[in-house]
Copies of this chain bind each other. A is one copy, B any other.
Amino acid sequence: MLLLRGATEVVTPSATSVPLSGEAMGIVERHPNADVLIENDKIVAVGKNLESEVAEIIDVSGKVIVPGFVDPHTHLVWAGSREHELEWKLEGRTYQEILANGGGILRTVKETRNSEEEELQQESLIRFKNAIRSGSTTIEIKSGYGLEEETELKQLRVANWLGNLGLAETVVTFMGAHALPEGADRRSYISFVCSMLPEVRELADFCDVFCEEGAFTEDESRFILQSASENGFGLKIHADEFGDTGGGRLAAELGLVSADHLAGSTLDTIKALRDSGTIGVLLPGTPFAILSDHFAPARKMIANNLPIALATDCNPNCYTESMQLVQQLAVFRMNMSPAEALVASTINAAFAIGKTDRGCIAEGWRADLLICDIPDYRHLTYHFGINHVDKVIIGGKIIDA
């Protein structure tokens, strides 16, 4: 047993009605001068002056404890690097222009195909550890830089390998429909993606599709997602990144677990997503990194009771592993409150990847916790650009990443 003794405050979303939406997203429980008692991988008590004769005691005086962050959308397993494309973006080239010229995703596809599996493991492990040191305790990872069988499987194996290191858990997503490979026939490629589904199911719990101009159409996305559903996958979609182009509506129609990006979603789409029980996963790092002011309309979503989660979108075009920075962008660019950002990065993010046992600090929940070197939980966003995480506890164990 582990007893965290004397935190300045223990701060957690309420788990009354999950995922949280509307006004409930803006409310967190604050337990001042509190302890947390952990047995194996579960929280067994939160409160003042807890006692245990057998527990190892950790003094957390002067610290704030929050749930471990869940990052429900990353492409963290890739090879190579695209800093030169940042300079292109600064010269005014758009995401779609760079992609159409063999850059963007297609460049990373080349480098990932050419990488040895062990090399891919090591490059990805550095990022995985960066994420954990920044507070992520469960991390979703997608394939989609292979766009051919061998490399997709390699990426999925690496994502599973990372999750089995005894550090953070991973949730793995197959995203063969990330882009159309260079020179491929659309119909054949989509058939190929669907043909991989049964084999891939052992390596991935979710299937995701990039529904956007330049990637896959609404009909193509529907076809792939329906096949994935028949194969037992949970379903996700990259939708409405640049405008309301049908992806959000499709997510609502099919009742997906999450619809991600949504920067361009209209009010009708937001309401449809709410009614379908879909969680909106917002990725403010992406507009930040592509020099755009077009952040998702988080306030409109919260006002209309769509539950929202936050994620890094960690990829070579939005290269950050930090859920702290993402929360800061959510507050300073999308006008979310510090409480809403925390809820969206913990319990709602966990639900967006089907993990209903974590993201809350209360009896019976999984012991994924962050011990933070701040005087008040709001400093996670108010005090920006600095890593506030002092210790990371995952499944009841202190993790040295």
Contact = CB atoms under 8 A, between A and B. Distances in A.
Nearest to A133: B386
B338 A384 contact: no
A385 B87 contact: no
Q: For the complex formed by this chain, how many copies does it contain in all? A: 2
21 contacts: A81-B379, A81-B382, A83-B338, A83-B376, A83-B382, A83-B383, A87-B338, A90-B337, A130-B386, A134-B385, A288-B333, A293-B293, A319-B382, A319-B384, A320-B385, A321-B385, A322-B384, A322-B385, A322-B386, A325-B384, A326-B385
Contact of A383 (B291, B319, B375, B387): B319
A324 interface: yes
User: Which of A130, A326, A332 has the most CB atoms of chain B within a 10 A radius of its CB?
Assistant: A332
A331 interface: yes
Interface string A80-121: 011110110010000000000000000000000000000000
A276 to B, nearest CB: 29
A384 to B, nearest CB: 5
Contacts of A320: 383-386
Contact of A378 (B86, B130, B335): B86
Interface of A: 81-84, 86-87, 90, 130, 134, 285, 288-289, 291, 293, 319-322, 324-326, 331-333, 335-338, 375-376, 378-379, 381-387
A331 B386 contact: no
A319 B374 CA distance: 13
Contacts of A81: 375-376, 379, 382
Contacts of A86: 331, 338, 378, 381-382
A320 B331 CA distance: 15
A331 B83 contact: no
A307 to B, nearest CB: 20
A90 B333 CA distance: 10
Nearest to A386: B130
Contacts of A325: 384-385
A387 B384 contact: no
A15 B336 CA distance: 44
A378 B289 contact: no
Nearest to A377: B83
B134 A384 contact: no
Given A83-B376, A86-B331, A387-B387, 12 more contacts: A81-B375, A82-B382, A83-B338, A86-B338, A90-B331, A134-B385, A293-B293, A319-B382, A320-B383, A320-B386, A322-B384, A324-B385
Contacts of A134: 385-386
A30 to B, nearest CB: 13
Nearest to A373: B126
Given A324-B385, A385-B134, A387-B387, A378 B291 contact: no
A291 B338 contact: no
Contacts of A324: 385
Contacts of A322: 384-386
Nearest to A326: B385
A123 to B, nearest CB: 10
Contacts of A386: 130, 134, 320-322
A50 to B, nearest CB: 28
A297 to B, nearest CB: 15
A84 to B, nearest CB: 8
A83 B293 contact: no
A337 B87 CA distance: 7
A285 B383 CA distance: 11
Contact of A289 (B90, B319, B384): B384
Closest 9 CB pairs of A and B: A325-B385, A322-B385, A320-B385, A83-B378, A83-B382, A319-B383, A86-B382, A320-B384, A130-B386
